[in-house]
Amino acid sequence: MNGRDTLRKMRPVFVFALIGVIFMFTAPYVLQLFTIINLTTAIALAVLALSLALVWGFGGILCFGQVAFFGLGAYAYTIAAINFGGSTWAILVAIMVASAFAALLGYFVFFGRVSDVYLGVITLTVTLIFFSLIRRTSGPEYTIGKALMGGFNGITSPPLNLPWDAGSFLFPEHVFYVAMAALILCYVFCGWLVTTHFGRVCVGIRENELRAELLGYDSRLYKLGIFTISAGIAAIGGVLFCNGVGRITPDVFNLYNAALTIIWVIVGGRGTLIGPIVATFGLFYLTSALGGQSLFNNNLVLGIILIFFVLLVPKGLAPTVTDWFTRRRKPRRAAGRRRRAARRTGATEA
Amino acid sequence: MSSKRHRRDVIVETRSLSMHFGGVRAVDQVDFTLFDKELRCLIGPNGAGKSTFFKCLTGQLHPTAGNVLIQRQDTTGAEPHEIAGLGVGIKTQVPNVFDGLSVDENIWLSARRWHKPKRARALTAETIERLRLGDIRRETVGRLAHGQRQWVELGMVVAADPWLVLLDEPAAGMTHEETARTAELIREINTEAALIVVEHDMQFIRMISSQVTLFHEGRILMEDTMEAISNDKRAREVYLGHRA
Ligand SMILES: Nc1ncnc2c1ncn2[C@@H]1O[C@H](COP(=O)(O)OP(=O)(O)O)[C@@H](O)[C@H]1O
Ligand SMILES: [Mg+2]
């Protein structure tokens, strides 16, 4: 595929990215600071959803514990930032720690040819192990460098600072800009990745692993690759999350969050990147709105939404909307093709 | 690669190859040789062990005992992608295609494995033309008829430009016309590459008129031309008797 093809395929990605940029620069002027701070958290979760959309929707790997890499990133960032006395390198450490952990876990899972079902079980188990291990670190003896682990109370996360000045912390509205920019960059990166040879092979492996192998692709390497990359993206989400909330606690690793990530992708649609992002924002606002009342139970509503989508919109939001549009456009395009064909035959006759 | 190979060079060899499933000896001590540029058919009744033998060659199964050599290189226990990496094109009995992707994408993924982007695009276009898939190139493969999906898989084999081609029942489920075209394609591939074709359909084997290896109960019963085999009493008993 040449450069122009890549650009053509990425056109929708750029359109959504542009919408994101416009939103990024207008939101702080029209929304209240409280909403902006809340939005930062939603953006962080959207990055997490994006990472699962990549590894599950395109890599075909149902990672039930994507939130483990998210939480690991948040913890690594917090601990590193406390020790370094600055955030810039801590972000890098967060991405590296989560990716390295994913690479190690992925190596045993993929090269051990563990079946897909067990992969979900293993990643979820790892997440819950983190949950119970970190919860137990409440004594003063549990420190990593200068950082006190804090058990179930977690750790206060140092806010982001300017890269060239560790003393000047970003204000919440600036953190919002950083978060939004990170989401847009991660989205464009993923959108680009799936148009590359690597990305297309991953999709091929998702469709038929044996066929990919028979063509000469070592599926284990590709799976390991996309798994590791998606863990790095989840870690970026984790960094943003602990910045939005101001602290990180072991609750990030609980079963509820693990399941929630899956729900975002199911609702948004597997095989798309924008769907899960939009679904995350939608469900985030729905649950915060529901949090303000006591008529309906939050989990009950989420459960009903999940069942609704699984049964009635099994492809998820984005693919369903796309299908709807292409079905409406198809007759027109077919007519165009007929016209062009007629013109061609006319030309040969002339 | 091809400059080093000569006709009459052995390119595939198995030595006492066995594959047992519990008590079932699906393949039992098979010694087999294939020469370069040869076209060989494997026939035999259902359950004779043809597909199992085939899977041992392609790395889908790791044999219980014995060895597989491809171009004098021991490939026993190699993974399918390693076998493909030697320049071997493989089509399985149950069609293995990328169902959710377009015909174009299916072929491209094969061509791109071994070629630079530009050459891969050219090969994809060439293959689509050669297999007459032009009209359906943008269709999702999963929506195509069975015969067409078989052709997409053949296209993937051809697009990689292999020097050895292994096909398990390539004409299964095809219409008469499609079968004839497949036979034609196989002869065409054979001008450049050696082939092993597992096939059930006598008519089809007569069309490609090759040397035939007859499998029976996991062993090679005889190896000869189709004509000689159809005239052999023993062969007729195990296979042709209840078909002709
Ligand atoms: N995975 C397997 N497990 C157990 N038995 C098998 C397996 N694959 C094939 N067999 C048995 O091995 C024998 C040969 O099968 P196969 O190679 O598919 O025959 P053919 O392709 O000649 O019809 C059959 O008896 C079949 O039941
Ligand atoms: Mg068979």
B80 at interface of A, judged by CB pairs closer than 8 A: yes
A253 and A327 together in one domain: no
Using CA coordinates, name the residue in chain B closest to A218: B81
State whether residue A213 sits within 8 Å of chain B by CB. Answer: yes
Dig out the tokens for A88 from the structure: 């810039």
Summary mean pLDDT of chain B: 90
Decide which of A168 and A182 is more confident.
A182
Query: What tokens were used for A331?
Result: 């007759």
CA atoms of B85 and B62, how far apart (whole Å): 17
User: Is residue B108 within 8 Å of B120, Cβ to Cβ?
Assistant: yes
Do residues A338 and A264 both lie within one domain?
Answer: no
Does A304 share its domain with A327?
A: no
> CA of B143 to nearest chain A CA: how many angstroms apart?
14
Q: List pLDDT tens digits, range B131-146.
A: 999 999 999 999 999 8
Residue A233: per-residue pLDDT: 98
Contacts of B118 in chain A (CB under 8 A): 2
Q: Which residues contact B123 (CB under 8 A, 6 or more apart)?
A: B111, B115, B159, B161
- The pLDDT value recorded for residue A349 is 34
Query: What is the structure's pLDDT at B244?
Result: 40
**Lowest-pLDDT choice from A89-93, A213-217, B177-181:** B177-181
Distance from the Cα of B172 to chain A's closest Cα (Å) equals: 18
Ligand 1 atom 5: residue of nearest CA: B21
DSSP state for residue B140 in the 8-state scheme: B
Q: Is A290 exposed, middle or buried (0-12, 13-18, 19+ CB in 10 A)?
A: middle
Cα angle A211-A230-A284, degrees, rounded to a multiple of 5 = 120
Under 8 Å CB pairs connecting chains A and B tally to: 68
Q: Are A268 and A333 in the same domain?
A: no
How would you classify the pairing of strands B211-216 and B219-225? Answer: antiparallel
Residue B98 sits at the chain A interface (C-beta within 8 Å): yes
Query: Average pLDDT in the A293-300 region?
Result: 75
Counting the structural domains of chain A, the total is: 2
Q: How far apart are CA A181 and CA A189, in angstroms?
A: 12
Same domain, A202 and A252: yes
Q: Are residues A27 and A79 in the same domain?
A: yes
pLDDT of A213-267, one tens digit each? 999 999 999 999 999 999 999 999 999 999 999 999 999 999 999 999 999 999 9
- Nearest ligand 1 atom to the CA of B44 is 22
Least confident of A2-11, A155-164, A324-333, B51-60: A324-333
Q: Is position A241 within any domain?
A: yes
A25/A142 same-domain check: yes
Find the helix or strand (DSSP H, E) in which B101 lies.
none
pLDDT at B121 over 80: yes
Residue A334: what pLDDT? 53
Contact A213 B98 (CB under 8 A): no
The pocket around ligand 1, CB under 6 angstroms, is made up of: B 21, 24, 26, 44, 46-52
Compare all CA atoms of chain B with the CA of A2 and give the residue at the minimum distance.
B117
Question: Do residue A170 and residue A234 come from a single domain?
Answer: yes
C-alpha distances out from residue A322 to A199, B195, B229, Å: 21, 44, 57
Protein residue with its CA nearest to atom 20 in ligand 1 = B47
The CATH number assigned to the domain holding A213 equals 1.10.3470
What mean pLDDT do residues A79-98 have? 94
In a domain, A3, yes or no: no
For chain A, say whether B92 makes contact (Cβ under 8 Å). Answer: yes
Q: pTM of the full predicted structure?
A: 0.90
Q: Does A227 lie in the same domain as A211?
A: yes
Q: Is the Cβ–Cβ distance between A194 and A203 less than 8 Å?
A: yes
Residue A137 lies in a domain: yes
Please identify, by atom number, the ligand 1 atom nearest to the C-alpha of residue B215: 22
| pLDDT tens digits along A316-325 | 988 888 888 8
Indicate yes or no: CB of A208 within 8 angstroms of CB of B109.
Answer: no
Neighbours of B15 (CB within 10 A): 16
Q: Tell me, yes or no, whether A135 and A97 share the same domain.
A: yes
Most confident of B113-117, B170-174, B239-243: B113-117
> Is A2 within the bounds of a domain?
no
Q: Nearest-CA distance from B151 to chain A in Å?
A: 14
The answer, yes or no, to whether residue B3 has pLDDT greater than 50, is no
Q: Is A203 on the interface with B (CB under 8 A)?
A: yes
pLDDT in tens, B155-164: 999 999 999 9
pLDDT at A345 (0 to 100) = 44
Under an 8 A CB cutoff, do B113 and A216 touch?
yes
Q: What is the pLDDT of residue B218?
A: 92
Alpha-carbon distance B204 to nearest alpha carbon in chain A (angstroms) = 25
Tell me whether residue A1 is in a domain.
Answer: no
Asked if residue A297 is part of any domain, the answer here is yes
A4: in domain = no
Find the mean pLDDT for residues B109-133.
94
The pLDDT value given to residue B205: 87
A303 and A346 in a single domain? The answer is no
A257 in a structural domain: yes
Task: Give the number of other CB atoms < 10 A from CB of residue B186.
Answer: 23
Distance separating alpha carbons of residues B85 and B91, to the nearest angstrom: 15
Both A190 and A253 in one domain: the answer is: yes
Substitution target from B96, B118, B138 for chain A, most A beta carbons within 10 A: B96
A229 and A54 Cβ atoms separated by less than 8 Å: yes
Question: Which whole number is the average pLDDT over A180-204?
Answer: 97
| Integer Cα distance of A42 and A36 in angstroms | 10
Contact A186, A47 (CB under 8 A): yes
Range of the domain at A259: 11-315
What are φ and ψ of residue A113, in 5° steps?
Answer: 50, 45
Domains defined for chain B, CATH in brackets: 2-87+162-243 (3.40.50.300), 95-161 (no CATH)
Chain B positions in Cβ-Cβ contact with residue A207 (cut-off 8 Å): 98-101
Q: How close is the Cα of B210 to the center of ligand 2, in Å?
A: 19
pLDDT-derived band at B237 (thresholds 50, 70, 90) equals: confident
Contact at 8 Å (CB) between A251 and A240? no
Name the 3-class secondary structure at B104.
helix
